[in-house]
């Protein structure tokens, strides 16, 4: 059985809001859980991977037009 990862739609929000929303959601997830964050703020491309590295989470970034997709696996 596979489950869809949680998704945070932070499009239109300026940093640090996408990071803060992600941090809050990750706190309630078990290790190994997946989370997707959608963001349009260019600073998120720096801030979210940096936060993930500092906290031991895996983070993969892809783009679709002006939308950044962050696929995160909680460490």
- List the one residue out of 24, 22, 12, 10 whose CA is nearest residue 50: 22
Residue 60 DSSP SS3: strand
Q: Phi and psi for 62 in degrees, rounded to 5?
A: -130, 165
The catalytic residues are 15
């Amino acid at each position: 059985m596979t489950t869809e990862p949680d998704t945070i739609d932070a499009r239109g929000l300026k940093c640090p809001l996408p990071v803060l929303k992600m941090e809050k959601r990750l706190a309630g997830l078990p290790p190994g859980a997946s989370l997707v964050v959608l963001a349009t703020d260019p600073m998120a491309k720096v801030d979210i991977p940096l936060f993930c590295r500092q906290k031991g989470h895996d983070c993969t970034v892809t783009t679709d037009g002006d939308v950044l997709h962050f696929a995160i696996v909680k460490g």
